[in-house]
A and B are shown apart, each in its own frame.
Chain A
Amino acid sequence: MPEVKDWTTDYDIFDPSYKKDPFPIWDEIRGQCPVAHSERWGGSFMPTRYEDLFNIARDITNFSSRNVLVTDFEAPPEGAVYEEPTQEDLAQYNVGAPPITSDPPVHTWARKLLLPPFSVTSVSKYEQETRELCAELVDGFIKNGHADGAADYAQQIPSRVIASMLGIPKEKAGEFTEWVRGFLELGLTDPVLRQESAINIFKYLNEQIQEHKANPGHDDLITYLLNAEVDGEPVPEGHVLGTCFLILVAGIDTTWSSIGSAIWHLAQHPEDRARLINEPELIDSAVEELLRAYSPVTMARYVANDTEYAGCPMSEGSKVLMNFPAANRDPSVFENPDKVILDREKNPHIAFGVGIHRCAGSNLARMEMKVSIQEWLKRIPEYHLENPDAVTWAGGQVRGPRLMPVAW
């Protein structure tokens, strides 16, 4: 890819500089041309002001969720060798990921089905287990005096919590992580890897669903979805599969990215570590502030009708990159937006989106962030980045550290 010379007309969300430090780029775009456009990766618009993200996310008539990934592409990277999916696989697994990929009316019942197991109360049932997992992870490396805060810690947490909720073996957590990265991170610029990863996830979940059908009576999400009824009818199995796919894909690298960014921030801010240790009651607002400052997720929308937004004509079929992370650094809404203020008073951040597609797993993500920060600081109150330049970032639609050596 040629170098980006003008971020307002030619941005590339996969550019290494964007992945590493997108904040000045967003400021530049917000200041010059708040709804930017780029032809790269199939073409897209990118709003960066809070108000614009707020408006577009809530306009579900013009901005559909039928496609929430930003890249469109034809050819796999040169030299790539993959197994071709069969037509049968493609047909069986063409179920979407409801309700994230749904518009009303399907969205309305699909969301109602999904939200109760992710309520604050439901999620709290997994808190103790998450706490034990975090403690065990830290105990595994604390004697070494160093670890990778992303790979050895953050990455290990959400995959296991999600496996436990779905009711699938936690031993597969490493594989889920690889598949989800293949679909959502590395797969965004590699269509064949993306498809291959999706089919792996669908196949595995389908096996698990069949197993749950044969052995009913478990207290887990797959059983809940299989037993659920909508208007007196059981939920179609393809829908159950699509929703399980969503839970796995959306619940893993997003939360892991947030946990990683929090550990990264705290590694460099002893004053914030001290505050969290001395004022433990700050944890909830600290989690919200870290979510604001390091929002991981940039969704996409599909322009459903020829429309115009803020003077920008957008034709049907165009993509809009929902840059919620940039909105959360908008100085017209957040005072001193580049500063992390753990007890920020006014923080209407939209890290989980806004409108009907508000992240269904937000309560789970918050719980995992809270517990993972608390358990880390309890055991490792003093630590630092071993080498700030060695930190690598995933970017594109989910941003967070992937390698982050820390020492204490």
Chain B
Amino acid sequence: MGRRPGPRAAIDAGGLVVVMKVKVDSEKCQGHNRCYAMAPGMFKVDELGYATPRGDGTLTPDKMALAQKAVDNCPERAIEIVDE
């Protein structure tokens, strides 16, 4: 498995603000609940265990490490950090 890129700063080199979001691919999620446990408050799970980000998934810089932890511990590779 290749190394995944780590979280990037919320401000890019040109000084533009980049909004980072955490996303869950609902096709891949199988309800392991790992993200729910690893990153308290960042995700919600339904009664089948399927996860979605709370709110619109926007990550403040202080939440980046926690989101990366959710990415690193998801057995289904269903979580991504994306910039929009």
Contacts and interface: CB of A to CB of B under 8 A. Distances in A.
A354 interface: yes
A348 B33 contact: no
A348 B49 contact: no
A348 B33 CA distance: 12
Nearest to A115: B48
Given A284-B37, A355-B30, A348 B47 contact: no
Contact of B48 (A116, A332, A346): A116
A15 to B, nearest CB: 29
Nearest to B47: A116
16 contacts: A50-B1, A115-B31, A115-B48, A119-B47, A119-B49, A120-B36, A122-B47, A288-B73, A347-B72, A348-B34, A352-B32, A352-B75, A354-B30, A358-B30, A358-B32, A362-B33
Interface in A339-361: 345-350, 352, 354-356, 358
A348 B73 contact: yes
Contacts of A115: 31, 47-49
Interface in B30-45: 30-34, 36-38, 45
Contact of A346 (B36, B45, B73, B77): B73
A213 interface: no
Interface in B20-78: 30-34, 36-38, 45, 47-49, 69, 72-77
B72 A345 contact: yes
Given A116-B47, A349-B75, A354-B75, A333 B30 contact: no
Interface of A: 50-51, 111-112, 115-116, 119-122, 284-285, 288, 332-333, 345-350, 352, 354-356, 358, 362-363
A120 B72 CA distance: 21
Contacts of A50: 1
A333 B4 CA distance: 12
Interface residues of B, number: 20
A356 B49 contact: no
A112 B47 CA distance: 9
Nearest to A333: B1
B73 A347 contact: yes
A348 B36 contact: no
Given A50-B1, A356-B30, A363 B75 contact: no
Nearest to A354: B75
Contacts of B33: 120, 362-363
A355 B77 CA distance: 11
Nearest to B40: A284
A358 B31 CA distance: 8
A113 to B, nearest CB: 10
Contacts of B37: 284
B69 A348 contact: no
A341 to B, nearest CB: 13
B31 to A, nearest CB: 6
Given A119-B47, A348-B72, A362 B36 contact: no
A116 B72 CA distance: 26
Nearest to B46: A119
Contacts of A358: 30-32, 75
The residue in B1, B30, B38, B48 that gathers the most chain A C-beta atoms within 10 A of its C-beta is B30
B32 A51 contact: no
A350 B77 CA distance: 12
Given A50-B1, A115-B48, A348 B30 contact: no
A348 B31 CA distance: 13
What 3 A-B pairs have minimum CB-CB distances, sorted nearest first?
Answer: A346-B72, A358-B30, A116-B47
Given A115-B49, A288-B34, A347-B73, 20 more contacts: A51-B1, A115-B48, A119-B45, A119-B48, A120-B36, A122-B47, A285-B38, A288-B73, A332-B1, A333-B1, A345-B72, A346-B73, A348-B34, A348-B72, A348-B75, A349-B75, A354-B76, A358-B30, A362-B32, A362-B33
Contacts of A356: 30
A346 B79 CA distance: 14
A232 B76 CA distance: 32
Contacts of A355: 30, 76
A100 B55 CA distance: 34
